[in-house]
Structure 1
Amino acid sequence: MFLFVAMYLLLASSLTYRIIKFVLLNDRAEVFKYSAVALFLFLLIYGYARIYDYAAVLIAGLSTANLLFAAGIAGTVLSSAIKRTGELVPVCLTAATADLMSVIKGPTKGMIEDISAYYEQGMIGPPPFVDFIVVKAGIPGYDVPLPLFGVTDWVLVALLSASLLRLNKTDNLLPGVRQAQERFLYLPVSAFALFTGLVTAQITGLFLPAMVFIVLFFLAYLVIKLKVHRELERSDVLFSFLFPSCVVVVILLI
């Protein structure tokens, strides 16, 4: 199972890299057109599945491909706000804090309960909304595609990779391809972190916030490989405390 998930993430990462390059090389109008198609397809799948019975494997496969495509576009568009590597530090810490707090006391907690109940009860009736915003995979030995992670986790993966590519840097872990960026296979450190999180969750039987793993691995990469600590500005340090604190307060007040 773990080997299959690893290959799945490698393929998804490589395809997302192509999406990132596409967004970076095309104008906003072209990107908006494909974004609109992804949104229309999502609404179509959601509406159809809520009304009619559907073939789970077919719909889940189409839905997952669409989610990965949309997440790749969204992450790349959001990366346009990043002008320096140091700016990724507060972004990462804020994302990890938001994910952790949401799991403990926030929207994600309710979504976990909804999707867990749906699968534990034999997938009877219309699927909950959260089932349409999770990336799934058909795992050998299982009758239905299994949820792996949320679409927002992949948005963060794409955002981090796209941000470094905009700055003429890379987070590709595959040996010998950091300079030859036109090769097909691409494995960003954030995708490897996501795989580690999935394996840990499977072994422990706990639901673990994926963004925490992504951020820990990515920040370690920034420090060890890209020496980000040498170029941090005062604003980066300030926002690294300010933004996560604001997220905690907002979620506690919800």
Structure 2
Amino acid sequence: MSIPTLSALAAAEWRHAPRRALLLGAVAGPIMIALTHLVLPLFPARVIDFMRRGFILDDLAGVLVLNDLMAVYFLAFFIGLAGSLGVVLMAREEHRLEILLAKPIRPGDFVAARCVPALAGAGIVGVATAVACGLAVAVHPDIGDSVSSAGTLGAGLFLTALALVLVAGMQLLFVRLRDPFLGLLLACFAWLATCIPAAVLLYRPDVFQGRPRLADALVMSSLLWHDATTSWLGPLALVLALPLAWLLVRAAGALLARADAL
């Protein structure tokens, strides 16, 4: 019996992967962006001003785009996570992993192939929502000029890249865990950990006082402080995230192979 190649396995996994979450995410993203631009400007001026001052933004455009970017990050990560949980963790919990690994497929290739739909789904939803963010800024010029369409798109692509790396990195934990609920909790904590610095800036700005480089590195709204840089940094980050995510997935497969050998 010939052993299928990794590309053939990945193509088969993508062909048979459920599409419902991917389609819902791709549709929900633009809808969330549109609702943000329709509803948020109707908030009381003091609410807008609180967010603008708290996140060090120049105008309403910054406030709207920051909320848009949260939609990009949320959808990309959790669409990817939904598929990532089923790679090994759910199969182990349902006592199907041993049967799947009994096939003439190397454990590393098994993990990599099954991760393809999860990572592709996260990337597609993230990019689609990031594009919607850029278009929303372009068709809504009266909100201010502190951010551009290109910078907004770049920021969305940067967060999509971050989501891809996080989803791939979580597989390193998932191949060793046995409880899907624990895996979900750890994944949610990892996602929240990247959002906490923005909350710290909002409620405890003194933590970053005199530390601009730390704020630039950790706070999500810093993507809007450097709009011109983000316009090229975002696409570059996404390009670099793809091989990094793949390396993390392959490392997870190596861990599973080692555990299986032991």
What TM-score do the two structures reach when normalised by structure 1?
Answer: 0.34
Report which of the two structures shows the higher radius of gyration computed on alpha carbons.
2
Specify which structure has the higher proportion of helix: 2
